[in-house]
Amino acid sequence: MDKPNRKPGGVLDNLLALPFDFVTGYLVGLLAPVAALAAIVGGVYLLTRKVPFLSHTWPDEEGGQHLSLKLMPPEQAQAAFVREKERISADLSTMGAEIKALAEHAKAQASMSKED
């Protein structure tokens, strides 16, 4: 009688393939857009010797806010990045303080409703 042709560890290989495939797909899903953006920026730099910089423009007359894409030398882009980073961190800290105040207000109202 012939034994079936099995690979050793076949079931274990199949069980371990699921998380491995999941992690591989997750990492590729994260890295592929980053690699595509890096390739685009690199291509623009090779053609123009400038880098694209996405910046926020202040509200216009109608109150709308827009993003603008500018080509600038790498040194200027680095300085603009630092400015935008500081502005965004200030906005985030303001938002964090507002969220904290809202949470405290909600806790106070919840405790008042429990007392009633």
Of 51, 44, 54, the C-alpha closest to 84 is 54
Task: Please report the pLDDT score of residue 112 as a whole number.
Answer: 85
User: What ranges in the chain are assigned the alpha helix state H?
Assistant: 10-48, 74-115
pTM score of the predicted model:
0.57
Q: pLDDT tens digits, residue range 39-76? A: 999 999 999 999 999 887 777 777 777 888 899 999 99
Rounded-to-integer distance, Cα 27 and Cα 19, Å: 12
Residue 45, judged by CB atoms within 10 A of its CB (0-12, 13-18, 19+), counts as: middle
pLDDT value at residue 6: 54
> What 3-state class would DSSP assign to 84?
helix
Highest mean pLDDT among 12-16, 63-67, 106-110: 106-110
List the chain domain ranges. 1-49, 51-116
Instruction: Return the closest-CA partner of residue 41 out of 31, 33, 51, 49.
Output: 51
The percentage of the chain sitting over the pLDDT mark of 70, rounded to a whole number, equals 91
50 contacts 73 by C-beta, under 8 angstroms: yes
For residue 51, how many other CB atoms are within 10 A of its CB?
Answer: 19
